[in-house]
């Protein structure tokens, strides 16, 4: 029997671009696992799509689930902007956001929601705490795994905190916490900035282990070669240095 949370609502934000092969199965699986574990007063999935040429947005609109709201974005596109628009439009007391290629498996959503319900402000599924792992495979993923590992270790040195997975992006958070902190940045560096500012503000943050799995279909938006990752890496390092400077003023 699923526990009832009669006064609590949940929003799941799914930022998408060219995820036509993944979006409907992801929606279905996410709703299935959430409903198996919880009975919320209100549950919604917000698919925030950057006007995908493969019409991801149309497939989401026609998925047959009343809990799904599609936001088709024609301007000011980008990962952080999409997530932030979803957060702003979310009606839930708890907000989850995640990648939409099944590298963030929906079966790990209940564990982060449960801990927010227990009183944590922010709960992150992490590859780098005990029990977590990165098992992604395919084109470019070996380089992505290595550079992500290196970047997180640089982050630990520069920011000096015990947080482990600064590039996770798989999170459940109290809605008032994220809406008051806001999201800054362009691509994945927004998550570094968000977590660091939350730590500095004194929010209660927990990391839980999960396995970051291979994308099911489609191509990575991060890149597939060293130059793609180097370009993003420069943005990450600039963010780290700015946070380091601000943190010591």
pTM: 0.89
Decide: helix, strand or coil at residue 54.
coil
pLDDT score for 116? 98
Which domain range does residue 239 map to? 4-247
pLDDT score for 41? 92
Contact yes or no for 12/89 (Cβ under 8 A): no
Residues ≥6 apart with Cβ < 8 Å to 56 = 16, 17, 18, 19, 20, 23, 47, 49
CA distance 149 to 146: 5
pLDDT score for 248? 44
Helix orientation angle between 23-37 and 109-117, rounded to the nearest 10 degrees: 40
Q: What is the pLDDT along the chain (249 residues), one digit of tens a residue?
A: 577 677 899 999 999 999 999 999 999 999 999 999 999 999 999 999 999 999 999 999 999 999 999 999 998 889 999 999 999 999 999 999 999 999 999 999 999 999 999 999 999 999 999 999 987 655 445 666 677 778 778 888 888 778 999 989 999 999 999 999 999 988 778 999 999 999 999 999 999 999 998 877 766 655 555 565 556 667 777 778 788 777 643
The domain that contains 208 carries what CATH number? 3.90.550.10
DSSP conformational letter for 216: S
Helix orientation angle between 189-201 and 79-89, rounded to the nearest 10 degrees: 50
CA angle (81, 191, 128) in 5-degree steps:
145
The pairing of beta strand 94-97 with beta strand 171-174: antiparallel
Residue 59 tokens read as 């497939």
pLDDT score for 249? 38
Residues ≥6 apart with Cβ < 8 Å to 141 = 214, 220
Residues ≥6 apart with Cβ < 8 Å to 95 = 10, 11, 12, 13, 87, 172, 173, 174, 175, 178
Split into its structural domains, the chain has a count of 1
């Amino acid at each position: 029997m699923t526990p009832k949370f009669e006064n609590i609502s949940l929003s799941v934000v799914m930022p998408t671009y060219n995820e036509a092969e993944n979006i409907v199965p992801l929606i279905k699986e996410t709703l299935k696992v959430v409903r198996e574990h919880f009975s919320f007063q209100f549950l919604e999935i917000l698919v925030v799509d950057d006007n995908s040429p493969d019409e991801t947005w149309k497939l989401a609109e026609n998925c047959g689930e009343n809990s799904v709201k599609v936001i088709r974005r024609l301007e000011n596109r980008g990962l952080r902007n999409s997530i932030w628009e979803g957060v702003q439009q979310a009606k839930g007391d708890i907000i989850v956001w995640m990648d939409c290629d099944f590298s963030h498996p929906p079966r790990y959503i209940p564990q982060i929601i449960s801990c927010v319900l227990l009183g944590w402000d922010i709960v992150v599924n992490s590859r780098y705490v005990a029990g977590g792992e990165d098992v992604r495979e395919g084109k470019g993923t070996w380089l992505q795994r290595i550079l992500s590992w290196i970047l997180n270790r640089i982050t630990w040195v520069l920011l000096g905190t015990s947080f482990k997975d600064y590039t996770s992006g798989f999170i459940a958070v109290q809605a008032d916490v994220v809406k008051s902190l806001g999201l800054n940045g362009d691509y994945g560096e927004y998550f570094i900035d968000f977590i660091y500012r939350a730590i500095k503000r004194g929010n209660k943050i927990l990391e839980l282990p999960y396995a970051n799995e291979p994308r099911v279909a489609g191509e990575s938006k991060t890149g597939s070669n060293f130059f793609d990752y180097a370009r993003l890496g420069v943005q990450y390092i600039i963010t780290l240095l700015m946070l380091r400077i601000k943190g010591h003023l």
